[in-house]
Every structure is written in structure tokens, then in C-alpha cells.
Structure 1
Amino acid sequence: MTTTADPVSAIRNLGPASEQEYARAGIHTADQLRELGADAAYGMLLAAGNAPHFIGYYALVMGLQGRPWNDCKGDEKKALRARFDAIKAGSASDTNAAPAGIERILDQIGVGTKRQS
């Protein structure tokens, strides 16, 4: 007998677009997502190049708890914001960060950051 795993979109608050984003991050089933937990899974999502989005993060947290995304309020939401900010800070996919080595290359062609002497 063959069984099929539930897709990521089987988790409350996550739809087809989320399913595609998590698949690009290597997460293909709802069970994988549950085993990883919200923080690790969201970190993988960012590492795969997705832009950080607080609502997406707390919708995931609420969904893993079986709650609607808009159930997050007050102190709980503040605590989740702190967790989100920590995950975002630890992500190597910061979209505002310059690529590694870019300063050296820009200096070589004469258009690097001006430095005070």
C-alpha cells in the first residue's frame, strides 16, 4: 500500500504560493514543515532567497498551531516579531546586503565607496 504525504498547503494559512516557496527551500511536505518547526523552516525559506515578510512568518506559526493567521495579537505578536527579527538577522539572504567581495571589485574599477583619509 502506498501512502502520499500531505502537501505544505495542508497546513492552515498556507496555500499554493507558500507551497511553492517552501518547495524551493527543500520543504515538500506538511510533516517536514512540522518537524522543522516555524523558526527553522522560515530560516530555510530566507536562505533560499525569499524576502522576509513578518505576516508570512506569523501566519506559519499560527498555522502550525492550527490557528487562523489573524489570531496573533498583543504580547504574542510582539514576541513573534522579536523571533522573526532574530531569524531575519541570522539569514545570509539579507536583500540589502552587498554581495561578498563587491567592495574590492568596485575599488578595483575606481567606483568603490569613498573613504575618509
Structure 2
Amino acid sequence: MAAISTIRNIGPASQAMYNAAGIMTAQDLRNMGADAAYARLLQTGNPPHFIGYYTLHMALQGRPWNDCKGEEKKALRMTFDALKAAHFNTAKSELDAFMDQIGLIDRQ
């Protein structure tokens, strides 16, 4: 199976984040889709970052990362904000986030 970094716009640092969140291959990422994969990143303690979110959408469509503009970008921002509100716990400590990433915290 191909590594996540074989997808356009996704480099080794992003691949490491996805792998730590349990998303191991490019096909796994494609099967999950951008929203579910990004939600998983947030749930495992990765801080939200809008550019990373819309870059993921562009990557899975085979488009350049900076191709997102206008109404499409506005719509993605609304979805990003909803994902962030639903899946990112700002009170979660760095230790909790690390323990979650290595599988020591039960995800419910």
C-alpha cells in the first residue's frame, strides 16, 4: 500500500501526523475522506489549522494546495469550524494528547 506522502500536497510531517492518528496509507486516507480524517487528527490532539484542512481537501482531489478560493474556501471554512468545535478539546493537556496518540486513552 502506498504511503500517505505519495498524495500530492502531503509531505512527511503530515504523513507522520496521520500515521500517529491511525491512518496508515494513502488508500486509508482516501477511504476516510478529508472531513473524517481531519476529525481524527483533532481527536488525537493535533491543533486545528485551516490551511492544513483545505490542503487535505485539495490533495484528495488531485488539485494544487492553493487552488481553493472564493465560495469553495468559504464553505470549507464553515465545515472546518464545525469540525473544530465538535472534535477539538482545547482543555486537553499535551500529556493527554500524547497518551491518546499512542493508544493509552480509550476513545469513545
TM-score, with length taken from structure 1? 0.76
Tell me how far apart the structure 2 counterparts of residues 56 and 14 of structure 1 sit (CA, whole Å): 9
The 5 Å alignment of 1:1-117 reads 5-91=1-87, 93-95=88-90, 97=91
Unaligned runs of 5+ in 2: 94-108
Say which structure, 1 or 2, has more relative contact order (CA 8 Å, 6+ apart).
2
SS in 2 for 1:49: coil
Identical-residue share of aligned pairs (%): 63
> Root-mean-square deviation (CA), in Å?
1.2
Cα distance in structure 1, aligned partners of 2:17 and 2:92: 23
**Equivalence for 1:103:** none
TM-score of the two chains, using structure 2 as the length reference: 0.82
Q: 1:39 to 1:98 in 2, by over 3 A?
A: closer
Gaps of 5+ in 1: 100-117
For these two proteins, the number of residue pairs brought into alignment is 93
Please give the per-residue CA displacement for 1:78-109, whole angstroms capped at 9, x wherever unaligned. 00000101111111x322x367xxxxxxxxxx
| Larger fraction in helix | 2
- Give the number of the structure whose alpha-carbon radius of gyration is greater: 1
